[in-house]
Amino acid sequence: MSKWVRLTIPVAAMATVASPVHAIQFMSVAQSQKLSFPSATDFDPIDARAWKVREGGKDTGRYIIDHVIGKHLYIDYAVTLDAAGHIERVDILQYRESYGGAVQDRSWLNQFVGKTSASALQVGVDVRNISGATLSAHHVTEGVKRIVSRYGK
Kindly report the pTM of this predicted structure. 0.83
Mean pLDDT value across the chain: 88
Per-residue pLDDT at 2: 61
- pLDDT above 90 for 17: no
- pLDDT above 60 for 14: no
Per-residue pLDDT at 18: 44
Per-residue pLDDT at 99: 80
pLDDT tens by residue, 50-104? 999 999 989 999 999 999 999 999 999 999 999 999 999 999 999 998 887 899 9
Per-residue pLDDT at 55: 95
- pLDDT above 50 for 25: yes
Own/partner pairs for 59-65, CB < 8 Å, 24+ apart? Answer: 59/83, 61/36, 61/37, 61/88, 62/151, 62/152, 63/32, 63/33, 63/36, 63/37, 64/147, 64/151, 65/29, 65/32, 65/93
Angstrom distances, CA of residue 104 to CA of 17, 75, 89, 137: 27, 10, 12, 10
pLDDT tens by residue, 1-13? 566 555 555 555 4
Per-residue pLDDT at 10: 54
Per-residue pLDDT at 16: 46
- pLDDT above 70 for 121: yes
